[in-house]
Amino acid sequence: MPGDLLIHELGPKGDGIHRSQGRPVYVDRALPGDRIQATIRRDDDGVLRGDLLKVMKASPHRTKAPCPNYDVCGGCTLQHAKDEFYRHWKVDIVRDALRSKGLKPRVWRDPVFLPAGDRRRATFTAYKKNNIVALGHYRRRAHHMTDIASCLVADPAVMDMRERLKTLLALLLQEGKPAMAFIQAVNGQFDIVITGPVGQKGKPDLRTREAIAQFAREAGINRISWRANPDDAVEVIIELSPLRAHFGGLDVILPPLAFLQPTQAGEDALVDSVMELLPRTGKFADLFSGCGTFTGPMLERGAVDAYESVGSAVRALDKAKGTRPLKAIRRDLFLNPLRRDEANRYDAIVFDPPRAGAQEQVRTLASSRTPLLVGVSCNPATFARDARILVDGGYRLDSVRVVDQFTWSHHVELVAAFTKRSR
């Protein structure tokens, strides 16, 4: 039965929250102050969720979503929120995560909010039915996939390539079997990775490879790769020319699926935020370095040891270093974190772990004498956990800056500075 709900707050994943007898009900696309009509159901994990049927009285924070696909696409979460409310909410996600661990920085640096429309990487779900390919996104918490012809957050070059790619996928994909297409656009260069069954036997045969090669030449794509499953290594089918990215003075040839910040403006904002904190000269470590987003700019101030677990990224950095004082070191920092005596060698350490955070690594950093630690994170919850360890180990949380390049989503990034307290 439908029920009337008053939304009291907005959760960290963008759901409106109604509280009834102390129990939260999460409603997608609802805002604080909304009075709505919704059906309530219980998820398999026991969470109560409301399916929005009608907004009876709109929140003062509500606005019309600008995207025509918003009702059927799960790519964005908060297009229905006014900018001022949305921005306060993004900052509050970080504030609340820190507060939950009893933390407050000495300084909140001005947040950075970046405009939509230049997301340079995207993964689309692909599906062929009756020889017609749909290429789009699943609706949030649903199994319905919608073909998306336009996108307000993506770089237009990505969307143009997405449309052209349908022609190739119509030849490659098996009828009724979903696949994924990853498209990354870097300074006019394109890297495409297809994941899933292709060809008659589920993997590239001669006909499939010839079709891929012809498409790459005609569409001007640098590289197209394939893998059967998301956890598999990629097989490069054709590479017409290497993909290059510039990080500071480093000219890096990118391996397939190389991790880059989703937008160039976001990368610039994060790099600037980190470099403003580092000393002008010194010896530095870049932990979870990837292909060198921070390593390159740091090299302009001194020697850098870059630690990364992905072999292709380490090799790319090693080839790019030339005569610069860079050591690219392959090391799984989850299994083999930098030791205290190793950390003590550096004047500053930058760490930018994946969403899981760097719990084991910060435990050893907390006991080190490194004067400055700079943390970059895309997950405020795991960052707050790790920051608590550093503060308990003798570091002071000096500053935090929120950087939002994931417009209209619940994702947010931050840059934080920790200095060692004198004993």
Tokens representing residue 350 in the block: 């930058």
For the stretch 334-368, what's the b/e string if a residue is b when 16 or more beta carbons lie within 10 angstroms of its beta carbon?
beebbeeebbeebbbbbbbbeeebbeebbbbbbeb
The helix/strand count (H/E) of the chain reads as 9, 24
- Distance CA(72)–CA(150), nearest Å, equals 12
- Distance CA(326)–CA(317), nearest Å, equals 9
Residue 352, marked binder = yes
- The number of angstroms, rounded, from the C-alpha of 237 to the middle of its chain's C-alpha atoms is 26
For 25, 380, 404, 408, the CA distances from 86, given in Å and listed in that order, are 21, 17, 11, 8
Q: Interhelix angle for 359-366 vs 380-392, to 10°?
A: 20
Residue 285's closest CA among 386, 397, 368? 368
- The dihedral sign for the CA sequence 273, 278, 279, 284: negative
Tokens representing residue 25 in the block: 């009900």
Q: Is 73 a catalytic residue?
A: no
Residue spans of alpha helices (H) in 330-423: 340-343, 359-366, 380-392
Residue spans of alpha helices (H) in 321-379: 340-343, 359-366
- From the list 73, 76, 291, 378, the catalytic residue is 378
- Distance CA(111)–CA(412), nearest Å, equals 11
Residue 308, marked binder = yes
The answer for residues whose C-beta is within 8 angstroms of residue 134's C-beta and 6 or more apart is 126, 127, 128, 145, 146, 147
* Amino acid type, 271: V
Residue 361, marked binder = no
- Distance CA(418)–CA(62), nearest Å, equals 38
Binding-site residues for S-adenosyl-L-methionine, in ranges, read 261, 288, 308, 352
Active site residues: 378
Binding-site residues, in ranges, read 261, 288, 308, 352
